[in-house]
Amino acid sequence: MSVASMLDLDDPHSGLLEVARARWPVWQAEHAALLVTDDLTDLRQAVRRRGRTDANEVLAALVKQGSATGGNEAAATAVAVWLLLPGACLMAARLRRQLPLIGAEVDQLVAGQVWIEARCVRESTNYAATILLNAERAIRTEQEVNKRSAKARRKSVLTAPADLDILWAVRFVRDESPLGVSPEVELQRLLVRSIRRGVITAVDARLLLDVAHAADELASNSARPVGLMSGAVSQAVAARYGCSDRAVRRRTHSIITSLRSLDARSIGRSA
């Protein structure tokens, strides 16, 4: 899959881009910079025609409209990332050459990190460069973290087991736990081992824990189990990440499938 398809941004007439097209006149009324075109599908060409300064103002408006402290509209973030896709694809190609061990997951890593940076970037005189450079730096840093010892990774990647009630999350991944090993410790070992082997990334581990936390909160309120990929869980996590619930479900399913691919006999052993 490409970076665009990972984010559901390969079709301007569907998903968040379709929402953005409907919201465009409203955003134009709030941000004069967006008056460069009335047709969202022409935005890339319009930005190229206007030059760097206007392009930065367009991105500034979209970033503000999409940020949690601004309009908090994921569709606006989607448009900002859509504008940055050419640069994101070049980044993915570069990382694929320079970090061959993550080749199969480059698109997914780039897609996720560019989205996060677009949602969280601070004020800048060059939003495009800032977002893309921050994303690449974060990915490279993460890969360096993945080379550290298991002890260091536990500190830098995973939350403390006491923070989450995730017994059911472990059972979802596996049918039973080894005798004498708590489910929290087992899940922590599983995630660390999976990251070390390249089965999942640190970003995947963080997402799975967030999904587990959201499901646990919903289960506590309803007094009954809630599935990891239930609609309510996906919506709660999607709101936190600023993406679609469909994207959360798809990525959660992919992570769990990857975890299940590990030899069950190796789960719970020391890394």
What pTM was estimated for this model as a whole?
0.57
Do the domain assignments include residue 227? yes
User: Are residues 194 and 249 both part of a single domain?
Assistant: yes
Residue 168 is predicted with a pLDDT of 37
Do the domain assignments include residue 56? yes
Position 79 confidence tier, pLDDT thresholds 50, 70, 90: very high
**Residue among 197, 41, 68, 59 nearest 126 (CA):** 59
Q: Tell me, what amino acid is at 51? A: G
Rg (CA), the chain: 20
State the residue range of the domain holding 216.
150-266
Q: Is 74 helix (H, G, I), strand (E, B) or coil?
A: helix
User: Are residues 154 and 105 both part of a single domain?
Assistant: no
User: Are residues 27 and 53 both part of a single domain?
Assistant: yes
pLDDT (tens digit per residue) in 49-68: 988 899 999 999 999 999 87
User: Are residues 222 and 197 both part of a single domain?
Assistant: yes
User: Are residues 31 and 98 both part of a single domain?
Assistant: yes
Position 154 confidence tier, pLDDT thresholds 50, 70, 90: very low
Residue that terminates a domain, selected from 145, 166, 197: 145
Do the domain assignments include residue 140? yes
User: Are residues 175 and 256 both part of a single domain?
Assistant: yes
Do the domain assignments include residue 271? no
* Residue 184 · residue 191 · CB < 8 Å: no
